[in-house]
């Protein structure tokens, strides 16, 4: 059981994942693309597809479209469809519509149709952004797993920010001043830090705690800071390394959600 943390994988896929998709978030997008294209185990490819959907990578759509069209395993194709919906790039609509009408497996067709509907709704919504957000430097000072948890922080921050009304996340390589001028909207740069990750034992099993901190800057000037914390609880073998990694990453995702509770603070900081 996890408190204060959204489920990080699509429910229909969860039972098939021998490899946790939360762990895959710690990998670089190019590595995930390789896993998706060349992984021998369908569970590895499924996990890579789900993680690419959360990555925000420019390379993710093409790789997911290939998997949706060509992968031999229906679970991977289902994951690729769901990931394209999560990625949110409307350019994937033709590939999703082809799968929704042409795939031989009902679960793939259903996932593709649902993802296509998500993208159509997103495309139909009027632009309502009030502030643009660019992810800056993401660091891990917890002493646990080094750069891997910094990448987890980056992915969780992007995913959370994309759910906040009035907030639009721009590309990592965007020119902040140029985007601000073109869109006539303020741009905030957010730097993030994993402050601590700690494991303890509770009545229900392992307790993983995480604390994160964000600093918001506008034109290099400090505008605000935010902190968040969360716990992830899990039963089972406390020596299972993969399970512990999943709990660490779930706790970080919950801490990010705790810190970025509302878009109001971001809009206020941007003024």
Contact of 219 with 166, CB cutoff 8 Å: no
Domain 131-270 in this protein, CATH class: alpha beta
Whether the per-residue pLDDT at 126 is higher than 70: the answer is: no
Domain 11-124 in this protein, CATH class: mainly alpha
**What percent of the chain has pLDDT above 90?**
52
pLDDT score at 26: 55
All CATH 3.30.160 domain ranges of the chain, comma separated, are 131-270
All CATH 1.25.10.10 domain ranges of the chain, comma separated, are 11-124
Name the band, by pLDDT with cuts 50, 70 and 90, for residue 95: very high
Q: What is the pLDDT of residues 1-54, one digit of tens each?
A: 333 333 333 333 433 333 334 445 456 788 899 999 999 999 999 999 999 988
Q: What does the pLDDT average to over 258-271? A: 87
CA distance 207 to 80: 32
Q: What does the pLDDT average to over 134-139? A: 96
Q: What does the pLDDT average to over 235-242? A: 76
Of 95-104, 148-157, 188-197, 257-266, where does mean pLDDT reach its minimum? Answer: 257-266
Whether the per-residue pLDDT at 88 is higher than 90: the answer is: no
Q: Residue 209: CB partners within 8 Å, gap ≥ 6?
A: 196, 197, 198, 199, 200, 229, 230, 231, 251
Q: Residue 202: CB partners within 8 Å, gap ≥ 6?
A: 233
CA triple 248-249-252, angle to 5 deg? 90
Q: What does the pLDDT average to over 169-177? A: 86
DSSP one-letter string for 195-239:
EEEEEEEETTEEEEEEEEEEEEEETTEEEEEEEEEEEEEE-S-TT
Which contacts qualify for 194-201: CB closer than 8 Å, 24 or more apart? 194/139, 194/140, 194/141, 194/142, 194/149, 194/150, 194/153, 194/252, 195/141, 195/142, 195/227, 196/142, 197/142, 197/144, 197/145, 197/149, 197/248, 197/251, 197/252, 199/244, 199/247, 201/238
pTM of the model: 0.58
> pLDDT higher for 46 or 240?
46
Contact of 157 with 135, CB cutoff 8 Å: yes
- Which two tokens mark 239? 């020596």
Other CB atoms within a 10 A radius of the CB of residue 165 amount to 11
pLDDT score at 91: 84
Alpha-carbon torsion (22, 24, 29, 32), positive or negative: negative
Using the 8-state DSSP alphabet, how is residue 188 labeled? E
């Amino acid at each position: 059981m996890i408190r204060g943390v959204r489920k990080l994988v699509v429910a229909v896929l969860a039972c098939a994942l021998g490899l946790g998709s939360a762990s895959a978030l710690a990998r670089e997008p190019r590595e995930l693309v390789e896993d998706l294209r060349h992984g021998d185990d369908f569970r590895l490819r499924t996990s890579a597809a789900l993680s690419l959907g959360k990555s925000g990578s420019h390379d993710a759509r093409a790789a997911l479209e290939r998997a949706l069209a060509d992968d031999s395993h229906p679970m991977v194709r289902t994951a690729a469809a769901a990931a394209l919906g999560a990625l949110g790039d409307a350019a994937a609509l033709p590939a999703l519509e082809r799968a929704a009408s042409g795939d031989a497996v009902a679960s793939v067709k259903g996932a593709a149709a649902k993802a296509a509907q998500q993208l159509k709704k997103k495309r139909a919504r009027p632009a309502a952004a009030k502030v643009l957000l660019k992810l800056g430097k993401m660091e891990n000072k917890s002493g646990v797993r080094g750069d891997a948890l910094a990448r987890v922080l980056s992915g969780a921050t992007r995913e959370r920010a994309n759910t906040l009304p009035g907030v639009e996340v721009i590309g990592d390589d965007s020119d902040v001043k140029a985007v601000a001028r073109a869109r006539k909207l303020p741009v905030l740069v957010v730097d993030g830090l994993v402050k601590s990750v700690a494991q303890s034992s509770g009545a229900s099993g392992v307790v993983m705690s995480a604390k994160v901190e964000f600093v918001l800057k506008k034109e290099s000037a400090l505008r605000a800071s935010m902190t968040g914390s969360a716990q992830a609880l899990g039963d089972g073998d406390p020596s299972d390394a993969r399970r512990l990694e999943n709990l660490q990453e779930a706790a970080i995702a919950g801490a990010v959600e705790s810190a970025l509770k509302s878009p109001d603070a971001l809009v206020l900081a941007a003024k």
